[in-house]
């Protein structure tokens, strides 16, 4: 098993509610359009498919989707939306788990490659994607750009959300490229629930080198699912690498 955190039943049950803004048509519509265009008439494999936020609507668009997911409770939540014949999911880690067949598209969304906490595991994730791709197939990652410019000199933590019902702070370990996101969420009874998650951030150029190790070539990098240009000010990127034909 990789270093990815194993999401438990309670976290899986809360996941869709905690990420409700990511289910909005404004977010999901362009995401599914982008992925469906890349998949074409082929099959798609989603690493860390979770509760099916993206995989389920992509399947409804007519793209055959297969998933890999480390957490059985997350798969259980996905099964409340779609059956196993419609969207098969293998329980396993995205760096080493293999599923049968070749795919036109392998994809990872919503910063999920950061759940792999070592560089070696992230390289293995690229290699695993390459093993599943048909010649000419594509590997896509949606990932934040490390927001280190928000840190004043000598400060290692910065808020990313300060609202009535949620406080969020990112604490950075600059030497090891690690980030711990601290969440304080207000419950309906007025109490506050604390949670934290650890991530390994990677720069776009580092990902490009991982892709080269896996035998993939950068084809496209944009700032978002609407294909705005990627610039110095972009807080995230959507990058596509291609397996040579």
Predicted confidence (pLDDT) at residue 179 exceeds the cutoff of 80: yes
Tens of pLDDT, residue by residue over 124-146, are: 999 999 999 999 999 999 999 98
Structural domain 9-146+203-242, CATH architecture = 3-Layer(aba) Sandwich (3.40)
Specify the pTM.
0.93
Predicted confidence (pLDDT) at residue 16 exceeds the cutoff of 90: no
Please report the pLDDT score of residue 1 as a whole number. Answer: 63
Percent of the chain past pLDDT 90, that is, above it, reads 80
Q: How far apart are the C-alpha atoms of 239 and 113, rounded to whole Å?
A: 12
Tens of pLDDT, residue by residue over 181-209, are: 999 999 899 999 998 999 999 999 999 99
Predicted confidence (pLDDT) at residue 151 exceeds the cutoff of 90: no
Q: How far apart are the C-alpha atoms of 162 and 169, rounded to whole Å?
A: 9
Candidates 194, 180, 184, 145; CA nearest to 162 is 184
Q: Rounded to whole angstroms, what are the CA distances from 106 to 46, 47, 196, 201, 243?
A: 6, 7, 28, 20, 11
**CB-CB contact of 195 with 185 (8 Å):** yes
Q: Rounded to whole angstroms, what are the CA distances from 238 to 20, 110, 159?
A: 21, 10, 24
Please report the pLDDT score of residue 96 as a whole number. Answer: 96
Percent of the chain past pLDDT 70, that is, above it, reads 97
Least confident segment among 84-98, 115-129, 140-154, 213-227: 140-154
Every domain of the chain and the residues it spans: 9-146+203-242, 148-197
SS3 44: strand
């Amino acid at each position: 098993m990789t270093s990815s955190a194993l999401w438990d039943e309670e976290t899986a049950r809360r996941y869709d509610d905690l990420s409700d803004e990511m289910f909005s048509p404004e977010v999901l519509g362009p995401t599914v359009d982008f992925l469906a265009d890349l998949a074409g008439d082929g099959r798609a494999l989603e690493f860390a498919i979770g509760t099916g936020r993206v995989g389920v609507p992509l399947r409804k668009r007519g793209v055959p989707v297969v998933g890999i997911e480390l957490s059985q409770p997350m798969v259980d939540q996905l099964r409340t939306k779609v059956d196993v014949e419609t969207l098969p999911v293998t329980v396993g880690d995205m760096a080493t788990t293999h599923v049968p067949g070749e795919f036109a598209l392998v994809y990872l969304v919503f910063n999920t490659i950061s759940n792999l906490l070592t560089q070696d595991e992230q390289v293995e994730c690229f290699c695993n994607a390459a093993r599943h791709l048909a010649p000419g197939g594509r590997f896509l990652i949606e990932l934040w750009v490390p927001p280190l410019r928000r840190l004043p000199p000598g400060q290692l933590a910065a808020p990313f959300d300060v609202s009535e019902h949620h406080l969020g702070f990112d604490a950075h370990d600059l030497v090891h490229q690690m980030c711990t996101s601290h969440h304080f969420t207000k419950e309906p009874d007025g109490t506050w629930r604390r949670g934290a998650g650890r991530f390994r951030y990677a720069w776009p150029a580092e990902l490009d080198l991982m892709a080269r190790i896996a035998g993939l070539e950068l084809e496209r990098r944009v700032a978002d699912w609407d294909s705005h240009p990627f610039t110095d000010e972009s807080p995230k990127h959507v990058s596509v690498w291609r397996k040579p034909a």
